[in-house]
Chains A and B, each alone.
Chain A
């Protein structure tokens, strides 16, 4: 997991994702948004690679002119969040059970129809994985996740 501070220029996302493509490294998750500093953005990139690949990625990112700072984060020294939106079929007889399970995960109901329930859950990725696994049992109609945002602990 790498946290990047980058100049918020047009094309900066293409330049960074292009570096991964060029070096044949798969991105598991990538998020980008404005941050506390004007004209800069913060990105969180998760890759699934060897230690050596990670080292190469870090150095190649550092070589990009628009990258101001590269910081490697581990799940121990960072607070990690992923946002999940999930629409599940909810037949009458299963509704109560679904709602109860969702509540135990801290998921919020965003929308409800006679046949479906839509939840929002922002949590650690592993917890979302488990929530999704459970909901699979009822029949997931649509699922999407924002990708990982991480902030270093002090």
Chain B
């Protein structure tokens, strides 16, 4: 793949970068300027084709670019200056990389002649970000910029998507050169495999046709590959149960009668039961993380033939040994399975009925919906989330922080569409949800965006309320306010004899006053039945709103797999209506 650059005389590095961004269709960037980036920002300020959103912390710039990417399926772009700007980006980039989200980061760097001299605001961003990016570049010559910019977007958005960082020394941005070049967009050593091996597809179909209790496990790769429709079609053809991972939430509408919800440590009981009892498991776009499989991996689908579709060959047999690996794009592989299965069924004259299994799956789905008794004193958070689910429109984008609020949302909020549930699954980054909501709202301005937050998480990135007000970006933050680092507190309660070591957060701040000081709408809510009015007020305010939901200090996410346990050893199951 080549891109031809027309002859252009006397372009500065900064101008080439902006040309490159526009050439890649970039409409919005999230960033903060700084000394090393003065040349770039000087040009960006006059650039009408690119909207710059000034964030209040570089971590938030990375999360916003990530949220933008996850909501829109486009590549998100963030910008930070050298030194502290770049180090602040690190958490955000690692978060995006762990969840295979396509993000391109541009960082300023001290002039090439000063690199290595411990100059003001110098840090080795290149070596610092190597292990948390899919690839990174340190550009030493202005004439290399066209190639680097386009390769960066190509690498970030193809194969297993991820983060690419471009480190831009000040002199490289300032220098002027003539550009007349052919750019090879594909680096010679980069050959992402998307088309599945047809022999493996046939083997998979053989196993699926012969199965009596098939389960499809849909991971983030399904959403990344836009393969949700294929999952639904295949599930219905096979009468297979569908379990999702946290990252796969929304891969199938959760009210679909074959969907059993999320599996794993804080997953739904029926989902884990199906995972441990199925005879064939078709895992798509999942890396079998420890939060999914539990610690005792021998309890994970022990009797099943496992088919694993993943675009990254390195995920095959990494955490779980599988029987039929299929390396390729989830959409391409699932489509191939569907086509093959259709031909097979035509020949044999109809479906192989799995009526008994389908009946059980539908029964488990019914259980899943009302699975947990939320009447208890420590279930106020759950009742709040369920009520929020009843209030919000089906196409609302939910983002979450990390911890109890995240797992309450994963468990009790029913997601109907892909890309409508955005959460930091791999890295588990507190403070992710709010800036990700900003990015999602910028990507989808016509839809409602709601961050399900905890009071601990929200304080980590709440300064970007200023970004929302200054840029007129309207999101709603629901703080599940229990004045604790709730998930750690829950573990201390259950596994450390209620010794609440440094998990109590005290009594400050007053979140309503905090939000109001930024010019936001804010309201305190103490009862689920008051939520509808609060959301009405929030949306009608026309501003970013913060709802401070007072929830129980001892609220717990149950059932769960205890530390060291496996899928069949969930505790708190007595709360399930099964």
Binding site for B on A (CB under 8 A): 6-7, 10-11, 14-15, 18-19, 22, 52, 55-56, 59-60, 62-69
User: In angstroms, how far is the closest chain B Cβ from the Cβ of A126?
Assistant: 31
A14 to B126, CA, bound (A): 10
Most buried by A among B134, B140, B189, B312: B189
A7 to B189, CA, bound (A): 8
Question: Within 8 Å CB of A11, what residues of B?
Answer: 126-127, 130, 138
Asked if B190 CB lies within 8 Å of chain A CBs, one says yes
Q: Is the CB of A59 within 8 A of B313?
A: yes
Question: Within 8 Å CB of B190, what residues of A?
Answer: 65
Most buried by B among A6, A56, A69: A56
Q: Is the CB of A67 within 8 A of B130?
A: no
Asked if B199 CB lies within 8 Å of chain A CBs, one says no
Binding site for A on B (CB under 8 A): 126-127, 130-131, 134-135, 138, 140, 155, 160, 187-190, 312-314, 316-318
What are the 3 tightest A-B residue pairs by CB atom distance, in nearest-first order?
A: A59-B314, A68-B189, A65-B135
The answer to whether A22 and B314 touch (CB under 8 A), given A65-B187, A65-B190, A68-B188, is: no
Q: Which of A59, A65, A69 contacts B155 (CB 8 A)?
A: A65
- Nearest-neighbor residue (CB-CB) of A5 within chain B: B189
A114 to B126, CA, bound (A): 51
A–B complex contacts, Cβ < 8 Å, 6 sampled: A18-B130, A18-B131, A55-B317, A59-B313, A59-B314, A65-B155
Q: Is the CB of A64 within 8 A of B314?
A: no
Question: Within 8 Å CB of B187, what residues of A?
Answer: 7, 65-66
The answer to whether A15 and B130 touch (CB under 8 A), given A55-B317, A59-B314, A65-B135, is: yes
A15 to B313, CA, bound (A): 19
Q: Is the CB of B314 within 8 A of A63?
A: yes
Q: Is the CB of B189 within 8 A of A66?
A: yes
Given contact pairs A18-B130, A62-B314, A69-B189, a sample of 5 additional A-B residue pairs in the complex whose CB atoms are under 8 Å apart: A7-B188, A10-B138, A18-B131, A55-B317, A68-B188
A10 to B116, CA, bound (A): 14
Q: Is the CB of A63 within 8 A of B317?
A: no
Q: Is the CB of B138 within 8 A of A22?
A: no
Question: Within 8 Å CB of B131, what residues of A?
Answer: 18-19, 22
Q: Which of B126, B127, B140, B312 contacts A63 (CB 8 A)?
A: B312
Most buried by B among A7, A19, A59: A59
User: In angstroms, how far is the closest chain B Cβ from the Cβ of A66?
Assistant: 6
Q: Is the CB of A64 within 8 A of B313?
A: no
- Nearest-neighbor residue (CB-CB) of A59 within chain B: B314
A138 to B318, CA, bound (A): 48
A149 to B214, CA, bound (A): 49
User: In angstroms, how far is the closest chain A Cβ from the Cβ of B370?
Assistant: 42
A59 to B130, CA, bound (A): 17
A56 to B190, CA, bound (A): 18
A69 to B160, CA, bound (A): 19
The answer to whether A62 and B313 touch (CB under 8 A), given A11-B138, A67-B189, A68-B188, is: yes
User: In angstroms, how far is the closest chain B Cβ from the Cβ of A7?
Assistant: 7
Question: Within 8 Å CB of B155, what residues of A?
Answer: 65
Question: Within 8 Å CB of B318, what residues of A?
Answer: 56
Q: Is the CB of A60 within 8 A of B189?
A: no
A56 to B155, CA, bound (A): 21
A68 to B190, CA, bound (A): 8
- Nearest-neighbor residue (CB-CB) of A19 within chain B: B131
User: In angstroms, how far is the closest chain B Cβ from the Cβ of A149?
Assistant: 21
Question: Within 8 Å CB of A69, what residues of B?
Answer: 189
A65 to B127, CA, bound (A): 15
A15 to B187, CA, bound (A): 16
- Nearest-neighbor residue (CB-CB) of B160 within chain A: A63
- Nearest-neighbor residue (CB-CB) of B190 within chain A: A65
- Nearest-neighbor residue (CB-CB) of B162 within chain A: A63
The answer to whether A14 and B317 touch (CB under 8 A), given A64-B189, A68-B189, is: no
Question: Within 8 Å CB of A68, what residues of B?
Answer: 188-189
User: In angstroms, how far is the closest chain A Cβ from the Cβ of B153?
Assistant: 13
A11 to B124, CA, bound (A): 11
- Nearest-neighbor residue (CB-CB) of A7 within chain B: B189
A7 to B135, CA, bound (A): 13
Question: Within 8 Å CB of A65, what residues of B?
Answer: 134-135, 155, 187, 189-190
A69 to B130, CA, bound (A): 20
A7 to B317, CA, bound (A): 28
A56 to B319, CA, bound (A): 10
- Nearest-neighbor residue (CB-CB) of B151 within chain A: A65
A63 to B190, CA, bound (A): 8
Question: Within 8 Å CB of A18, what residues of B?
Answer: 130-131
- Nearest-neighbor residue (CB-CB) of A40 within chain B: B188
A65 to B154, CA, bound (A): 12
A60 to B155, CA, bound (A): 16
- Nearest-neighbor residue (CB-CB) of A70 within chain B: B189
User: In angstroms, how far is the closest chain A Cβ from the Cβ of B165?
Assistant: 12
Question: Within 8 Å CB of A59, what residues of B?
Answer: 313-314, 316
Question: Within 8 Å CB of B312, what residues of A?
Answer: 63
Most buried by B among A15, A22, A63: A63
Question: Within 8 Å CB of A63, what residues of B?
Answer: 160, 312, 314
A7 to B134, CA, bound (A): 16
User: In angstroms, how far is the closest chain A Cβ from the Cβ of B260?
Assistant: 31
User: In angstroms, how far is the closest chain A Cβ from the Cβ of B287?
Assistant: 12
- Nearest-neighbor residue (CB-CB) of A68 within chain B: B189
Question: Within 8 Å CB of A14, what residues of B?
Answer: 127, 130
User: In angstroms, how far is the closest chain B Cβ from the Cβ of A41?
Assistant: 12
User: In angstroms, how far is the closest chain A Cβ from the Cβ of B164?
Assistant: 9
A64 to B155, CA, bound (A): 11
- Nearest-neighbor residue (CB-CB) of A10 within chain B: B138
User: In angstroms, how far is the closest chain B Cβ from the Cβ of A134?
Assistant: 42
Question: Within 8 Å CB of B135, what residues of A?
Answer: 64-65
User: In angstroms, how far is the closest chain B Cβ from the Cβ of A29?
Assistant: 22
A18 to B131, CA, bound (A): 7
Question: Within 8 Å CB of A60, what residues of B?
Answer: 314
A65 to B135, CA, bound (A): 7
Q: Is the CB of A52 within 8 A of B317?
A: yes
User: In angstroms, how far is the closest chain B Cβ from the Cβ of A102?
Assistant: 43
A67 to B314, CA, bound (A): 15
Question: Within 8 Å CB of B316, what residues of A?
Answer: 59
Question: Within 8 Å CB of A22, what residues of B?
Answer: 131
